[in-house]
Chains A and B, each alone.
Chain A
C-alpha cells in the first residue's frame, strides 16, 4: 500500500511533467490561435478532446496549461523554501527569542489566507502570473519554516552536532554541513505537498481572473471559459479539471509516499 502511494504519485507527477516538456517542442495545434470555423467541435480523430469556444484545440491548451501550473509551482515553492528553510534552521539552532519571533510571525502569515493575499496584490498591481507566484510563495513560507525548525531541533540533539560544535565548528558551517543534509528529506516532503497546494491555488486564481492573463492557456482559465458554453459543450469543462486533479493528487500521493518511506515509525499508525 505504501509503495503504491509512492509509485502512483510518481506516475501522475511524471505525466504532468511530460506534458509540460512535450508542449515546449510540440503541440497538435497552435494553443492560442483563434479559428472561428472550428468553434466547439466534439471529440474526433483530428481533435481528440474537441475544440473550445474560440476554435482552439483543447488538447494543445491542456498541454501548455501543464507548463503554467508547474512554472507557478516551481517558483512559488522555491521562493517559500529559500526564505522559509533558513529562517526555520536559524530558529531551531538559536532558540530563545529568535525562535519565538520567527514562529509568531509565521503564525500570523499562516493565518492570512493565500487567496486574500493574492486578491490584495491583484487589486494593487493587477493580476498576473507574478502576483500569483508571490502570493502563493509567501503563504507557503510558514510551512517550510516550521518543518525546518522541527527537523533542526531533532538534529541539534544528535551527538555528531555536539562533536562538531565541541571541535570549534562555527554555527553557519554546522548548519550547512550537518543540519541541512539531515533535514533535506523533511523539506522534500514539504515541497511535494506545497506543490499540490500551489497548483490548486494557481488554478483558483486563474479561474477568478486574478492570475495569469486569459490569453495564456491555464487550466483554471480554461474552466472559466468552459462555463460560458456549459449548456452547449459540457465536455469542455471535464478535461482541465481532470488535469488539475491529476497533478494535485500526484503531488499529494508523492508527498505521503515519501514521508512514509522515510519514516518507518508512521507505517503502523496509518
Chain B
C-alpha cells in the first residue's frame, strides 16, 4: 500500500514538473501568444493591446496557476480566436488515436511475447539468433519509413488496402478496418521489434533460475515450465518495458497518423503547430504527457498484482 501511495506521489510531482515545463516553454517570451495570432508584421502597440485583452499582461505565475486549475478540472484552455475549447477540439479526434495505439500495442504484444520466448529458448541455435537479428534490424527502422514501405507493398503494388485516410467505425465497419490495417501494422511491428529484445532477456533470466531447473527436473517440459513459472516471473520486469513501450506508442502514433493522414490527436497537434495555435499545442501536449505518465504509474502499481512479494516488502 505504501508503495502505491509513493508511486502516486511520484506521478503527481512528475505531472506538476511537466506542466511547468509545458506552460513556461509556451509562455516564455512575453506577448508570445498575441504575437503568434497577429503575425510577425504586427506593431508592438497592437501586440500589447491584444495581450491586455487576453489577460497576458498579468504575472506569468498567476496565469500558470489559473491554467493549472483549469487543467485539473478538465479545461485545457480556450483558443483566443474563435473561442474554441481545446478539449472540444480534442475529444472527436480521440477515437482514431485510441484505436491506433490500442490495437497497435495489442499487436506488438501478440508478436513479441511468442517471438521473444522463442528467441530465448533457441538462443544458441540459428533460428533463435535469426529472430534476435530480425528484431535488431526492426529497431533501426524509423516508424514512418516502415509505414511508407507497407503502403508501397499493400497499396501501390498489390492494391489490397487504401494508402491513407479514415472512415469512422459507425459509418462503415469494413471500410474502417481496411483503413486501419496498415497504420496498426506499422505501429505494432515497430513496437514489437523493441519488445522482443526485452522479452528474450527476461525469459533467459528465468531459464537460469532454480525454480525453473526444479520444474524441469521433475519432468516438466521446457514449454510447460516456461508457461507456468516463466510467464509470471518475467511479467514483473516486462510490465515496466511494456509501459514504456505504450508511452512510446502514444508518441509514435503522432508520426503514424501523419504517414496515413489519419484525423487523430497527432494531426490536431501538428496542424496547431503549423498555424502556431499555441493554446491548442499547450493543451494537447499536456494531455499526451499526462496519458504517458498515467500509463507509467499504472504499470508500476501493477507490480503489486504480479508480484506478491512486493506487497509485504513495502
Contacts and interface: CB of A to CB of B under 8 A. Distances in A.
Interface string A226-256: 1100110010011011001110110011000
B181 interface: no
Contacts of A204: 142-144, 255
Given A116-B289, A237-B148, A245 B13 contact: no
B296 A120 contact: no
B136 A252 contact: yes
Nearest to A269: B204
A111 B140 contact: no
Interface residues of B, number: 55
B273 interface: yes
A226 B147 CA distance: 13
Nearest to B141: A245
Nearest to A235: B152
Given A244-B142, A245-B145, A111 B151 contact: no
Contacts of B121: none
Contacts of B142: 200, 203-204, 207, 220, 241, 244-245, 248
Interface string B13-42: 110011001100110110010000000000
Interface string B137-179: 1011111110011011000110000010000000000000000
A120 B19 CA distance: 12
A208 B285 CA distance: 16
A113 interface: yes
B296 A123 contact: no
A249 B136 contact: yes
A108 interface: yes
Contact of A124 (B28, B148, B247): B28
Contact of A241 (B22, B145, B250, B292): B145
Given A204-B142, A230-B156, A241-B149, A108 B136 contact: no
A230 B251 contact: no
Contacts of A248: 139-142
A241 B285 contact: no
| Central interface residue in A124, A127, A226, A245, by most chain B CB within 10 Å | A124
Given A107-B14, A116-B288, A231-B156, 16 more contacts: A104-B13, A113-B250, A119-B281, A121-B25, A122-B273, A124-B29, A124-B278, A200-B142, A203-B144, A207-B142, A208-B258, A209-B274, A230-B152, A237-B145, A245-B140, A252-B140
24 contacts: A107-B14, A108-B17, A111-B14, A111-B296, A112-B21, A116-B251, A119-B270, A120-B22, A121-B25, A122-B273, A124-B25, A124-B29, A124-B278, A200-B140, A208-B255, A230-B148, A234-B152, A237-B152, A238-B149, A244-B141, A248-B139, A249-B136, A252-B139, A252-B140
Interface of B: 10, 13-14, 17-18, 21-22, 25-26, 28-29, 32, 123, 129, 136-137, 139-145, 148-149, 151-152, 156-157, 163, 201, 204-205, 247-248, 250-251, 254-255, 258-259, 269-270, 272-274, 276, 278, 281, 285, 288-289, 292-293, 296
